[in-house]
Amino acid sequence: MILLLQVLINWCLVHPILTLYELEPTFTVLDFVFLTAATVMLAAGGYIINDYFDTKSDMINRPDNVVIGNDVSRGNALAWHLGLNIAACVLGAVVSLRIGVWLFALFFPFVSGLLWFYSSTYKKMFLLGNVIVAFLTSMVPLLPVAYEIPGQIAVGNENVVNGLLDLNILFYWALGFALFAFVTTLFREIIKDIEDVDGDREIGRNTVPAVIGVTASKIVSSVLIVATIAALVVVWHTFLGDTLSAVYFGVALVLPLLFLIYKVMTMNSKKEIHFVSTLAKIIMLAGILYLFVVRYNIIAVAEE
């Protein structure tokens, strides 16, 4: 999902808008490969360390799916986590230096450390762990844009440097996908916590369902889903207005989100909760695939 999102942000958003403005991309294919590899490695390392610290609760919630301690030793898991994070930080530093913004290199060790403390500490705290995961997910679509703009300025494109071309439109689009990623990840994390509430209570984690109860957590998740639907309607009415986006939003996002609300409020068994969590992930994928519509619309404007 992370790789697909960054590839489509680059191919369906960044490149078409640069073409619309008659600009050449300055962020090379090699740089983009480094960036996506670093991002995916950070996420993989984060998953490993999360499973490392989750072993006790996973033995209660899903004993048949525990990998660390069974198929992979705890020592090897830590070694893989360390290796992936070192590689991610090195690649992140290389690509940041190549575009001439060394401060960007600090992002990768920051995320690595945040994921460690999330797994070891923050996910035990009420709502904080969910917000951290949602925040980090929302950073994914912003990275390709953040790494392209400095290059446009560095090559001395006069229209960009003098403000005659407003490349902020790239950020506005990427920010829209970032907000969608944030909210959908947040309600999906709460749904996953409902699925894992027994194990979390057993080891003393203050997740949302463990603190306010399963029923209240269902209501919170449903409110976030309603907020997502409302945001899609506002975005279409305020910024888009085209028929293709309306159809896509309605069929691929709004209707599934309405169905998701029904399933959230009626789910009871672990099987049902797992289905709802999977459905939420499919809706997130549908949101990513909207980038194909974005590309089509940008190209259509360029050809007019």
User: What local confidence, expressed as pLDDT, does residue 204 receive?
Assistant: 83
| Range 34-60 average pLDDT | 91
* Burial classification of residue 9, based on how many CB atoms lie within 10 Å of its CB (0-12 exposed, 13-18 middle, 19 or more buried): buried
Please state the domain extents for the chain.
2-303
Report residue 205's pLDDT band, with 50, 70 and 90 as the boundaries: confident
Can you give the pLDDT at residue 157? Answer: 62
What pLDDT shows up at residue 46?
A: 95
Nearest-5° angle of CA 264, CA 212, CA 267? 20
Percentage of the chain with pLDDT > 90?
74
**How does residue 194 score in pLDDT terms, banded at 50, 70 and 90?**
very high
Which pLDDT band, with edges at 50, 70 and 90, does 159 fall under?
A: low
- The answer to whether 180 and 39 are in contact (CB under 8 A) is no
Average pLDDT over residues 113-132: 93
CB–CB of 17/145 below 8 Å? no
pLDDT over 60 at 164, yes or no: no
The residue ranking higher by pLDDT, 97 or 21, is: 97
pLDDT 10s digits, 238-247: 999 999 999 9
With contact defined as beta carbons under 8 Å apart, do 31 and 99 qualify?
yes
pLDDT in tens, 253-263: 999 999 999 99
pTM, two decimal places: 0.93
Confidence of residue 23 (pLDDT cuts 50, 70, 90): confident
DSSP state of 156: T
Residue with tokens 């230096």: 97
The count of C-alpha atoms lying within 13 angstroms of the C-alpha of 169, restricted to the half-sphere facing its C-beta, is 17
The burial class, CB within 10 Å (0-12 / 13-18 / 19+), for 64 is exposed
pLDDT tens, 48-63?
Answer: 999 998 888 877 777 7
- E strands present in 186-290: none
d(CA 33, CA 91): 10
The encoded tokens of residue 294 equal: 């974005």
